[in-house]
């Protein structure tokens, strides 16, 4: 499969090159040149297939012959070694729980797939040609990337995080693994971390010394595998014979855009909903036609505090850059922190369901939308385990959350981080 840059000023590349580069040289996001729908019999028989077979059918055209079938299936088996339950929350509404992986966030799927692809491509290289994955995190990305890449040959990972601004659990997930994972603790904000990472990607000083790549959802190997669980949810709900509407709590719009790719492959999804916090660029665009990025605002659903969603260009491409086509497939709703907390309380009191702040926004958006589409079945994505957001959960609910074993396991480990406060310190670290 070939990929082109959505800025249209760079050469087409292979799957491998797109994964290793992350971003195209013209700073555009990579996008597949062709998308071929899956045959009808795949959807007719999906209930007879296991998760690995479903994922293989979904991803194989995007990898092409660059990873042989048996290796690709082995990668998928390893990546998908946990459950993706669809839990009924009330009549016509289900939660798709994406938090049963090692770091309890949906990002585990993409991070693990990308790590294993890079590991596959690097397996014959000598030390000097190592790939360095450089990533800035406001919390969840760092943990998923650290865990996903741990021990992968030929790849080392450098994670920048803002000192004192991630939760204790998230910090432990980032800083305790060791081996090929290094955490740089930045005296600054998440925006400072991200600015340093961007500067490193533009700096020619690493040419010939280090191959830097990104592990956020601009990378196709992190973005595309996020299609899988939309197929799994369809399989679970197919027998209801209802129109399916997916509500996705969104920040960088990688997750929802992967759902739209699944739809492009023929998955019968009736409609998408983007739920956002105060960072409401896309809901405003859908309403007014004006797309205005702005500095991010801090909220209790902090993994969605994004003022310039990087994957939105891919969503536009999927809808032929036609606003009306987009409006017929996507609705957007935004909520403030008080509304989010109220939804967490309502879900707990009325439905006996504990949602995290991101999932709660997905639920709110779904409720609002279903008022207009009563005959459909709605699924909101529960994107992280509520234990990761204890400090912003209502106290009476927080005390009911049981400590999952994969979180317990890191809490007692010792933190290792290197303190930095400016780009020169990052550069000297990377060059030594």
Catalytic residues: 107
Long-range contacts (CB closer than 8 Å, 24 or more residues apart) made by 174-177: 174/137, 174/142, 174/143, 174/146, 174/417, 175/415, 175/416, 175/417, 176/410, 176/413, 176/414, 176/415, 176/416, 177/146, 177/147, 177/150
CB of 364 to ligand PLP, least distance (A): 14
Token pair 């279903």 in the structure block, residue: 370
CB of 280 to ligand PLP, least distance (A): 13
State the DSSP H helix or E strand holding residue 90, giving kind and residue range, or none if neither. strand 86-90
Q: How many CA atoms lie within 13 Å of 268's alpha carbon, on the beta-carbon side?
A: 18
Q: Of 296 and 383, which has the nearer Cβ to ligand PLP?
A: 383
DSSP three-state, residue 8: coil
Q: How many residues lie near ligand PLP (CB under 6 A)?
A: 16
57 Ramachandran zone, left/alpha/beta (phi>0; psi -120 to 50) = alpha
Q: Of 259 and 378, which has the nearer Cβ to ligand PLP?
A: 259
Kindly identify the residues of this chain, within the stretch 206-265, that bind ligand PLP according to CB under 6 A.
217, 249-255
In the stretch 143-182, what mask flags binding to ligand PLP with x, by CB under 6 A?
A: ----------------------------------------
Kindly identify the residues of this chain, within the stretch 2-61, that bind ligand PLP according to CB under 6 A.
none
Token pair 């790849």 in the structure block, residue: 155
In the stretch 301-330, what mask flags binding to ligand PLP with x, by CB under 6 A?
A: --xx--------------------------
- Reference 215, options 143, 154, 164, 282; nearest CA is 143
Q: Of 177 and 360, which has the nearer Cβ to ligand PLP?
A: 360
Cα gap 169→49, rounded to integer Å: 36
Kindly identify the residues of this chain, within the stretch 115-144, that bind ligand PLP according to CB under 6 A.
140
In the stretch 74-113, what mask flags binding to ligand PLP with x, by CB under 6 A?
A: -------------------------------x-x------
Cα gap 339→399, rounded to integer Å: 21
Per-residue tokens: 312 = 């939105």
CB of 306 to ligand PLP, least distance (A): 7
Q: Of 193 and 426, which has the nearer Cβ to ligand PLP?
A: 193
380 binds ligand PLP (CB under 6 A): no
CB of 332 to ligand PLP, least distance (A): 12
Cα gap 205→219, rounded to integer Å: 22
DSSP three-state, residue 3: strand
- Reference 167, options 195, 196, 137; nearest CA is 137
CB of 258 to ligand PLP, least distance (A): 8
Contact footprint for ligand PLP (CB under 6 A): 105, 107, 140, 217, 249-255, 303-304, 358, 383-384
């Amino acid at each position: 499969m070939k990929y082109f840059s959505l800025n249209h000023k760079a050469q087409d590349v292979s799957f491998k090159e797109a994964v290793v580069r992350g971003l195209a040289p013209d700073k555009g996001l990579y996008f597949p040149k062709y998308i071929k729908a899956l045959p009808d019999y795949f959807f007719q028989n999906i209930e007879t297939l296991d998760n690995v077979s479903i994922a293989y059918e979904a991803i194989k055209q995007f990898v092409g012959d660059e990873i042989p079938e048996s290796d690709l299936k082995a990668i998928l088996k390893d990546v998908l070694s946990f459950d993706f339950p669809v839990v009924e929350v009330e009549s016509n509404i289900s939660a798709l729980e994406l938090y049963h992986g090692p770091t309890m966030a949906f990002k585990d799927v993409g991070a693990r797939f990308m790590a294993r692809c890079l590991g596959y491509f690097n397996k014959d290289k000598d030390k000097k040609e190592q790939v360095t994955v450089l990533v800035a995190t406001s919390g969840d990305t760092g943990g998923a990337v650290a865990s996903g890449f741990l021990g992968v040959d030929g790849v080392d990972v450098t994670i920048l995080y803002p000192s004192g601004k991630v939760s204790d659990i998230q910090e432990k997930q980032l800083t305790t693994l060791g081996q090929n994972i290094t955490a740089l603790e930045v005296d600054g904000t998440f925006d400072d971390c991200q600015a340093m990472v961007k500067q490193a990607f533009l700096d020619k000083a690493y040419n010939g010394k280090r191959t830097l790549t990104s592990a956020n959802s601009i990378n196709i190997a992190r973005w595309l595998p996020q299609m899988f669980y939309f197929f799994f949810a369809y399989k679970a709900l197919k027998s209801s014979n209802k129109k399916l509407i997916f509500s996705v709590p969104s920040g960088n719009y990688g997750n929802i855009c992967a759902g739209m790719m699944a739809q492009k492959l023929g998955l019968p999804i009736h409609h998408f909903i983007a739920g956002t916090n105060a960072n409401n660029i896309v809901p405003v665009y859908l309403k007014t036609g004006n797309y205005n990025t702005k500095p991010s605002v801090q909220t209790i659903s902090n993994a969605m505090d994004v003022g310039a969603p990087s994957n939105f260009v891919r969503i536009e491409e999927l809808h032929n850059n036609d606003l009306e086509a987009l409006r017929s497939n996507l609705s957007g709703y935004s909520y403030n922190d008080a509304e989010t907390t109220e939804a967490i309380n309502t879900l707990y009191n009325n439905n006996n369901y504990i949602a995290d702040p991101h999932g709660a926004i997905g639920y709110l958006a779904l409720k609002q939308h279903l008022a207009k589409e009563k005959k459909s079945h709605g699924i909101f994505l529960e994107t992280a385990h509520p234990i990761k957001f204890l400090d912003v959960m209502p106290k009476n609910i927080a005390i009911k959350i049981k400590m999952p074993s994969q979180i317990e396991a890191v809490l007692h480990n010792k933190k290792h981080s290197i303190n930095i406060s400016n780009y020169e310190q990052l550069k000297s670290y990377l060059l030594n």
